[in-house]
Amino acid sequence: MNSNQQVFELGEYRLTSGQTIQDVCIGYETYGTLSGEKDNAILVCHYFSGNAHAAGPANDADPQPGWWDSAIGPGKVLDTDRYFIVSGNSLANLNACDGCTVTTGPASLNAATGRAYGADFPLVTVADFVHVQKRLLEYLGIDRLVAVAGPSGGSAQAIQWSVEFPEMVPRVVAVISPGLYVHPYAAAMMECWTKPILADPAWKGGYYDAAHPPLEGLTQALHLLTLTALSYDVLSEFGYAPAEEKRPPSESLANEFKADAMLNEIARARAQALDAASFVYMVRAFKLYDVRERLHRAKASYLFLPVETDLVFPPHLSAAAVNELRAAGLEAELFMLKGNGGHLDGLTKLDQAHGVLGDFLSSC
């Protein structure tokens, strides 16, 4: 293990479905200092393909900054001079094969069989992610949070927190959010992401050999995911340029456009570190996410931060969530993030909301 992640060993965990899984472990990272009163903690939940490495360099060998490094740190939007930030891996985390991400999911060893669970791993839900995070916070001695925050799938977890453990969550920061549920259109789009994996002969019904995973299917799934996470403006920068000047696409089907080649290159590189079954499980978990019938439990205030060019979870979904929360008697507001980068701007443009978010986190 080559990582700054610490490991929380949960042991046996009973899923919301009633099934149990053994030897549950998740990795987590923290930033800043927990106050003596333990009253300055913010939980940051990761997005669909993220992990607990939310900020800072991982280690000397892999100095890549965390996925929300633009937002977490001294003087930043989530100020580590003031707040203690906790970020933990989900169950069935996609990064199970990267050598740094500690998680329990389909890629984990099933002690009963001596091989990876594969499709024998029970389905998990966003509520399960939250319940495991709750156990992590108990382990850290934290019984009340300043807020729960996260982008995309992380925002779904943050909102789920507010109905699962309302006494702990006075504030929710929902960035590039699906809202209170995943809209059927977005759910169908996510299901399309899984189809190349399921069609790959190496998938074998989810019981593939770890040494021979459905890599081609996973690559094409990530190709689709990356495309939807970008915007029209980003792809227009490539236009119809050929991937190779001497191989114009007008002369052969084998000759690629630059935009297609770029997306495939990104996807193929990412596929090396991700687990295909965990990808499919994560899609199902978010398709099952829906807190609308449980809003009566919530006591939080909500701040939604959509991105104007987001094609995955367009701003109107956040606006609808604000209206639904207000109709339920809860406080909710929206601040639009500007940018032409699409969904991914939710990871890099949070500084635009510095003042709004600062006031929100300080509100009574």
Burial (CB count <10 Å: 0-12, 13-18, 19+), residue 305: buried
The closest alpha carbon to 289, from 66, 78, 128, belongs to: 128
138 Cβ contact list (under 8 Å, min separation 6): none
In our burial notation (b when 16+ CB lie closer than 10 A, e otherwise), range 149-167 reads bbbbbbbbbbbbbbbbbee
What distances in angstroms separate CA 34 from CA 29, 81, 341, one per listed residue? 13, 10, 35
Of residues 87, 278, 343, 345, which has the active-site annotation? Answer: 343
Does residue 152 carry a catalytic annotation?
yes
Amino acid identity at 42: I
Cα separation, 69 vs 51, in Å, equals 13
Contact 154, 129 (CB under 8 A): no
Of residues 231, 310, 318, 345, which has the active-site annotation? Answer: 310
Amino acid identity at 10: L
Of residues 152, 162, 231, 301, which has the active-site annotation? Answer: 152
> E strands within the chain?
6-14, 20-31, 41-44, 72-73, 78-79, 84-88, 109-110, 115-116, 147-151, 171-175, 301-305, 331-334
- For tokens 């280690």, what's the residue? 59
- Show the tokens assigned to 291: 């807190």
360 Cβ contact list (under 8 Å, min separation 6): 171, 173, 301, 303, 333
Q: With H, G, I as helix, E, B as strand and everything else as coil, classify residue 20.
A: strand
Catalytic residue list: 152, 310, 343
